[in-house]
């Protein structure tokens, strides 16, 4: 019988933390800015979701959708390390601390509240 992976302690935080990488350059591609490891050096998992038509909605509808997504991500705040919503491409990219099933659980919670959201790819990095 194998031991379960250690569960990170629940950090005391009010909102999502920014990436711990200090030198972020907005002109760099997102895949270069997304952290691959947490502050303790552990590999992170990612998932991406497409929100079709988000950029074409009115400002109020965009804000409403983004507030819903933000609320879901805050609910999983102990696990979410990085999140980026690219309005030009309608792409949400989220990096999380690995936990079995979480790359499906969080997107399912988002899809429940934002039915048009599509999970593109959960992704586990290898060492």
Interior angle at CA 55, CA 110 and CA 96, nearest 5: 35
- Nearest C-alpha neighbor of 34 from the set 76, 118, 25: 25
pTM for the whole structure: 0.73
pLDDT in tens, 23-82: 444 566 776 778 888 888 889 999 999 999 999 999 999 999 999 999 999 999 999 999
Backbone region of residue 101 per phi and psi (left: phi > 0; alpha: psi in -120 to 50; beta: other values) = left
pLDDT in tens, 71-126: 999 999 999 999 999 999 999 999 999 999 999 999 999 999 999 999 996 555 55
């Amino acid at each position: 019988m194998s031991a379960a992976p250690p569960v990170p302690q629940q950090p005391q935080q009010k909102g999502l933390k920014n990436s711990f990488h200090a030198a972020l350059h907005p002109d760099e591609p997102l895949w270069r800015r997304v952290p691959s490891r947490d502050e303790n050096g552990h590999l992170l998992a990612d998932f991406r979701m497409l929100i079709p038509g988000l950029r074409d909605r009115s400002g109020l509808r965009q804000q409403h959708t983004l507030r819903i997504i933000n609320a879901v991500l805050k609910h999983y705040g102990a696990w979410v390390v990085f999140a980026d919503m690219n309005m030009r491409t309608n792409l949400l990219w989220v990096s999380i601390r690995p936990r079995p099933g979480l790359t499906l659980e969080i997107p399912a919670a988002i899809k429940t509240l934002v039915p048009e959201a599509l999970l593109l790819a959960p992704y586990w990095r290898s060492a």
